[in-house]
């Protein structure tokens, strides 16, 4: 991104604002930064390095002279505008699900498969937030002792649904504590003090929702291994920011918790939080605002007598490593 003309599509959204923050905090010297959003947001301003940048309306001509475009405005917007950005000469890093399963589009987590960036044809896809949270700490193990089976349960924060869902959690919680009714607006079910299946469509043939299917497919694509058996249960929890994942994985050969800790110690993008004596393990409150994925509760899966399985709990900031930071890291490597 150094000395490039960069544009952000969806600049006023939760991830869009984090794009700006990541570029600023990482000290990346840009030639220019253009902020793009819907007509409703056009004219608003965003602070960037001591300046107030005016948000412009997204249009088909908005990419002239732009080198790199970071998208986070939904798959429909990406499908329409990303090809136009590429046609104008830009490289797109897209945070939506629009291109993730396209065999011609690299799906990249820099700590795992940065080499795939070189094979892009104008568009690079940013993976699903739950997939990133799961795979960053799993990769150091997989590359040494291949994972053959993976079962995960996710605890996904409101941040995964954007600024509107974060606001709904805040307002509904306040109403609940005040003894008032708060009819759900963004999701179907009451959010305060409640859990519910991730608010994406259920596949009537498999029973898996769309979020779960994404994690399954993206794990296989990023690890470049279709032999991995993956099952996922994705749950929305009343946490404002940062996703958590409980995982149990079976390796090709026997493995111990000590070996897993050794592999994760110093691994890029991972920080071990595994204090058994004080029962202190990864928590959303500690992951919020952090670049690393926190990993802990690393223990033998006692249900597997073969000694090949490990259980682990991880947490990561969905808006950072799960979205904006990962995309900015990709753009830096361009």
Q: Give the active site residues.
A: 129, 243
3-state SS, residue 59: coil
Burial class from Cβ neighbours inside 10 Å (0-12, 13-18, 19+) for residue 132 reads buried
Q: Judge contact between 15 and 72, C-beta under 8 A.
A: yes
Q: Which two tokens stand for residue 107?
A: 């799906």
Query: Cα(39)–Cα(70) distance, rounded to whole angstroms?
Result: 18
| Residue of 139, 152, 150, 154 lying closest to 309 (CA atoms) | 150
Within the chain, residue ranges assigned H as helices are 14-25, 75-87, 110-113, 129-142, 163-177, 210-223, 257-264, 284-287, 325-333
Burial class from Cβ neighbours inside 10 Å (0-12, 13-18, 19+) for residue 227 reads exposed
């Amino acid at each position: 991104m150094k000395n490039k003309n960069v544009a952000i599509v969806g600049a006023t959204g939760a991830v869009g604002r984090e794009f700006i923050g990541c570029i600023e905090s990482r000290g990346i010297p840009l030639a220019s930064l253009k902020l793009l959003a819907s007509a409703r947001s056009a004219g608003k301003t965003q602070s960037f390095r001591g300046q107030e940048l005016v948000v412009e309306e997204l249009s088909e001509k908005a990419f002239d002279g732009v080198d790199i475009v970071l998208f986070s405005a939904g798959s429909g917007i990406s499908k329409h505008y990303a090809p136009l950005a590429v046609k104008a000469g830009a490289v797109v890093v897209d945070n939506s699900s629009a291109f993730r399963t396209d065999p011609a589009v690299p799906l990249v987590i820099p700590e795992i498969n940065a080499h795939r960036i070189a094979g892009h044809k104008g568009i690079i896809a940013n993976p699903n937030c739950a997939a990133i949270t799961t795979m960053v700490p799993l990769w150091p193990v997989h590359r040494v002792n291949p994972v053959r089976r993976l079962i995960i349960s996710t605890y996904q924060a409101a941040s995964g649904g954007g600024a509107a869902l974060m606001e709904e959690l805040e307002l509904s919680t306040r109403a609940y504590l005040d003894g008032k009714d708060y009819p759900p607006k963004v999701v179907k079910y009451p959010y305060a003090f409640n859990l519910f299946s991730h608010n994406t469509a259920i596949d009537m043939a498999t029973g898996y929702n769309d979020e779960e299917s994404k994690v399954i497919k993206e794990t296989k694509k990023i690890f470049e291994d279709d032999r991995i058996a993956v099952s996922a249960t994705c749950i929305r929890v009343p946490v404002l920011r940062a996703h958590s994942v409980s995982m149990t994985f079976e390796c090709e050969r026997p493995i111990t918790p000590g070996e897993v800790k050794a592999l994760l110690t110093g691994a890029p993008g991972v920080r071990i939080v595994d204090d058994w004596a004080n029962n202190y393990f990864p928590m959303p409150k500690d992951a919020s605002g952090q670049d690393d994925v926190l990993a802990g509760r690393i223990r033998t899966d006692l249900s597997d007598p073969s000694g090949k399985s490990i259980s682990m709990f991880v947490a990561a900031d969905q808006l950072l490593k799960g979205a904006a930071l990962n995309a900015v890291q990709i753009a830096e490597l361009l």
